[in-house]
Amino acid sequence: MRMILIGPPGAGKGTQAQNLVTTFGIPHISSGDMLREAVAAGTELGKTAADFMKRGALVPDDVVIGMVIERIGKPDCARGFMLDGFPRTRPQAEALDEALTRAGVALDAVVLIEVADELILERVSGRRSDPVTGAIYHIKYKPPPADVVDRLVHRADDTAVACTERLDKYHRDTAPIIPFYAARGLLKRVDGVGAPEEVLMRISAALQTVQVAS
Ligand code: AP5
């Protein structure tokens, strides 16, 4: 299965990906996680990305495209992958297409998790991430167990100002690629409101109709 999870910031892409990759046995490739790792490691790529990320702006295409295309060329992606947060612009979507065509493979599905803007700020402001396990919690909707609370982190771009900017970028740069995938019959729209388990059931049901190419 070669698939993309798309949706506004805080829609639940990371939360759902963590469950789905176990079901499908494919790697979860989050461009946001890869960029945060590069920032933490202090690499040249991370230094370039850091300021854009903190402001909620998109990291330039030429930085992100090379990073993700190289990643999906690794052996663990030979039988599929779940992209989360990439592509986010039309040039990224086109670069992905070109890379897959060169490799003689194709996308199987694009899942759009839909959540209204009004709900997003509450989701990201309550998010806490576990740097040890990668688990994603929410102080109200998915409270963390007491033994991990002290090590949880609140992302630097989960402020109201950065979140507003991220939403703006989503509507301006990312939402326009949705018709690109809809026109090719790949798009599955899923309501992202409700308990994470309910959303997972909706995604799983939507993916049942997908014919997976080899
Ligand atoms: P990235 O890390 O991709 O962030 P994002 O797309 O803004 O998405 P989030 O990680 O914020 O949210 P999510 O949808 O994964 O939600 P989650 O499951 O955590 O990107 C960060 C930055 O990196 C970008 O702003 C940009 O600068 C840069 N970047 C990354 N990719 C790029 C690219 N391709 N091009 C250019 N720049 C790029 O859930 C959120 C919260 O809600 C959690 O607390 C969770 O517990 C809770 N929650 C989840 N589901 C539910 C539910 N059903 N009900 C209630 N709460 C829920």
Structural domain boundaries in the chain: 2-115+174-207
Best substitution site from 37, 47, 123 to test ligand 1's pocket, by max atoms within 8 Å of Cβ?
A: 123
Sign of CA dihedral 23, 26, 31, 36: positive
Q: What is the pLDDT of residue 39?
A: 96
Average pLDDT over residues 26-55: 96
- Give the pocket of ligand 1 (CB within 6 Å): 7, 9-15, 31-32, 35, 52-53, 56-59, 64, 85-86, 88, 92, 123-124, 126-127, 136-138, 141-142, 157, 166, 192, 194-196, 199
- List residues with catalytic annotation: 13, 88, 127, 155, 166
Average pLDDT over residues 81-100: 97
Q: What is the pLDDT of residue 214?
A: 65
Between 52 and 209, whose confidence is greater? 52
pTM (predicted TM-score): 0.95
Average pLDDT over residues 55-64: 96
Q: How far is the CA of 132 from the centre of ligand 1 (A)?
A: 18
Best substitution site from 6, 59, 139, 203 to test ligand 1's pocket, by max atoms within 8 Å of Cβ?
A: 59
Q: What is the homologous superfamily of the domain 2-115+174-207 according to CATH?
A: P-loop containing nucleotide triphosphate hydrolases (3.40.50.300)
Instruction: Label residue 123 exposed, middle or buried (CB < 10 Å: 0-12, 13-18, 19+).
Output: buried
| 3-class state of residue 114 by DSSP | strand
